[in-house]
Structure 1
């Protein structure tokens, strides 16, 4: 039956209000009390009656526990890594110190926020603390991925990653870490990522049309890194006329250093559609060809011997294979010969050709071999008579 006495109702409401906080606290913190030894449980029950005091105690204990975990990580694992000669494990251990401390301490702060029973903002503070933990691990994962790529691509006994593919793997790993971390942050704050992905798809189409040239260069950079038509240090020629040493390969462009010491930046989209001649991509030696013409009536055997001797006397030409001479044809006013030699550095092509041309000219002059040149003979049939 309903209670018609207002006084009894007021007393009942007062008792309910007085005992509600204690009842809710016991419901929220049964596990924390059970984790403590039996001798400390009465003291915890006394402290638990004051929410702010309990929260401060949890924060203090969490800080001590975080410092202990960090010290254990440094001391125990540091001793194990000291037995290795590589510095990679020491760098990874150094990068793990911060996220381990942040995870333990902020987890304890989250428990303290729950215990404090703040009137407003409890869920926001907890989400913020958990987000900081995720962000700390994201930063550590990015740094550790770079360290592992350097270790796997360096000059070690076991080399799992080619040097030319390091930028590709570096960008891919960082994108994956950022995507996974962003997804976790969205889930922490209760944001449905499906709607964001749909919006990102529409925005991606608009951005793709607006920045199609930039995207083309990026995709071409991926293919250049994966296919490796050239590498840093190679000398390449493009069908558009550029020639130089590859000094940098990026995801958007490639930089060449010409023989004039001028750096040229070429978009990867242009290089991907161009014909590339890689002078350093074949064997260890590169053949150069010196075209020489001698006058008709010259001793061809003597010409061949002299050209071979010029090639052998040049210290920049390789002895294996040796210089060779070939007669290529009968020209309009000359007998055409080719002196072919092999060099090891493509950048020396111009200087070596200069030395060979100088030596050939001097040798032919000493042996009275004529190098034909354009000349005209004028015949006068008769002199005009004077009246």
Structure 2
């Protein structure tokens, strides 16, 4: 066995003892601070649950993980710095400067978590427009990330004026290389600010084969779920060049039908028209404030045609068809109550007597 007093072994033992002592002290100190933080956090969480406000809960939740991470990472940088400096004689300047960026990154992390918590809270309340809330949250997160990144660069001694000058030239180069990406980004901004549609809206475009429900509006693309449940991933720049129809923002839905009765019921048409109009005006699901037309409209090939033109109060697609069905059934009952009937395509052949006799003679011979 090797002698512990050996000149070769003694420096190693001294090194391990010194390192173990420093590392143990820093670790115990970090553990003590972390325990104190957890006790304070649990106490604050207990008090916040008794309040009627939700902002304190959101703030505490945003603080929890970043503060715990900082408590362990800060002493870790001190331990590494001491170890390298004492045993290798090297002073790493960037490691000493790492503490300030670490604090800045923690503050930015807390802010981003708070913004995300607020976004989820507001969306769960369902009192604000989902698209607007998401847009504001994304812009706020982007602003704080940029501010944090610039502050960290300045903490490392980088010149922001030079960086901005380089960014101007670099931005031009990047803009030319990534024009599609930028056009999609500004297309997304246009959607957020002009708000032609929002998440949950049913939209369609007569210019493209696009129709479905908006699921998500991102910075680069919008996701639309078609009625057969297929997802469509559409770049935002597309919406700058097409017409978008938003049926979800309709105020009413239209019922427009042409109904024909038999020519033999011509004497009953006037009373049928009058009764249908009265029925529509008193119908609870018909908006009588909108245009309402019930008139004898045309002489058809095999029917006397009546135009029924009105609007429902509902814009829901399923409910609209239920109302339309009820209206059509009531119209059919009104027609039958007048001993009339709905016409169907017929043809009447009129033969002259001379032509009939000639046809019979041709059959005999």
Normalising to structure 2: TM-score of the pair? 0.69
Q: Are 2:197 and 1:230 aligned?
A: yes
* 3-state SS, counterpart of residue 56 of structure 2: helix
- Asked whether 1:248 is paired with 2:211, we answer no
Q: How does 1:280-359 map to 2 (within 5 A)?
A: 280-283=248-251, 285-294=252-261, 297=266, 299-305=268-274, 307-308=276-277, 317-318=285-286, 324-327=292-295, 329-330=297-298, 333=301, 334-348=304-318, 349-350=320-321, 352-353=323-324, 356-357=327-328
Deviations 1:170-224 (A, max 9, x none): 2112211221221122223333344444444444444434443443333222222
Aligned 8 A contact 2:62 2:117 in 1? no
Q: 1:212-227 residue pairs with structure 2 within 5 A? A: 212-227=179-194
- After superposition, the Cα gap between the structure-2 partners of 1:102 and 1:359, relative to the gap in structure 1 and judged at 3 Å, is closer
* Cα separation, 2, equivalents of 1:268 and 1:362: 51
| TM-superposition CA deviations, 1:281-309 (whole Å, max 9, x none) | 254x5343223344664533233145347
Change (3 A) 1:255 1:339: same
Report the alpha carbon displacement of residue 373 of structure 1 after superposing the two structures with TM: 4.1
Report if aligned partners of 1:288, 1:343 keep a CA contact under 8 Å in 2. no
Q: Which of 82, 90, 93 is residue 60 of structure 2 equivalent to?
A: 93
In the TM superposition, what is the alpha-carbon distance from 1:342 to its structure 2 partner?
1.1
- Local SS of the residue matching 2:207: coil
Q: How many residues align?
A: 332
CA distance in 2, matches of 1:272, 1:321: 36
Match of 1:185 among 152, 164, 183: 152
Q: CA 1:64–1:241 in 2, change beyond 3 Å: closer, same or farther?
A: closer
The farther-off stretch of 290-299 and 182-191 is: 290-299
Q: Distance in 1 between matches of 2:65 and 2:95?
A: 20
**Alpha-carbon distance, 1:245 to partner:** 5.2
The correspondence of residues 163-174 of structure 1 with structure 2, limited to 5 A, is 163-174=130-141
SS of alignment partner, residue 249 of structure 2: coil
Closer, same or farther in 2 for the Cα pair 1:120/1:331, shift >3 Å?
farther
Question: Are 2:205 and 2:211, in contact at CA under 8 Å, matched by a contact in 1?
Answer: no
Distance 2:272 2:240 in 1: 45
Q: Distance in 2 between matches of 1:309 and 1:241?
A: 42
Taking a change above 3 Å as real, the CA distance of residues 257 and 345 of structure 1, as seen in their structure-2 partners, is farther
1:278 aligns with 2:250: no
- Per-residue CA shift, 1:210-267, capped at 9, x if unaligned? 4434433332222222333333443444333768553413122141443x55554544
CA distance in 2, matches of 1:301, 1:243: 45
Structural mapping, 1:75-90, within 5 Å: 75-85=42-52, 89-90=56-57
Secondary structure of the equivalent of 1:280?
A: helix
Does the Cα contact within 8 Å between 1:324 and 1:341 map onto a contact in 2? yes
Alignment partners' CA distance in 2, 1:82 and 1:299:
73
Aligned residue for 2:97, secondary structure, equals helix
- Residue 368 (structure 1) aligns with: 340
Q: CA deviation at 1:165?
A: 0.8
Counterpart CA distance in 1 for 2:296 and 2:235 is: 40
Q: Could you say what secondary structure the match of 1:83 adopts?
A: coil
Contact 1:106 / 1:129 at 8 angstroms: preserved in 2?
A: no
Q: Is the 8 A contact 1:298 1:369 kept in 2?
A: no
Q: Secondary structure at the match of 1:340?
A: strand
Q: Deviations over 1:143-185 (max 9, x none)?
A: 11111233345539xx7x6432122112112211221221122
C-alpha separation in 1, matches of 2:49 and 2:347: 82
Aligned positions of 1:49-198 closer than 5 A: 59=26, 62-63=29-30, 66-67=33-34, 70-71=37-38, 73-85=40-52, 89-103=56-70, 107=74, 117-118=85-86, 119-152=89-122, 154-155=124-125, 162-198=129-165
- TM norm structure 1: 0.65
Change (3 A) 1:85 1:257: farther
What is the Cα deviation at residue 64 of structure 1? 5.5
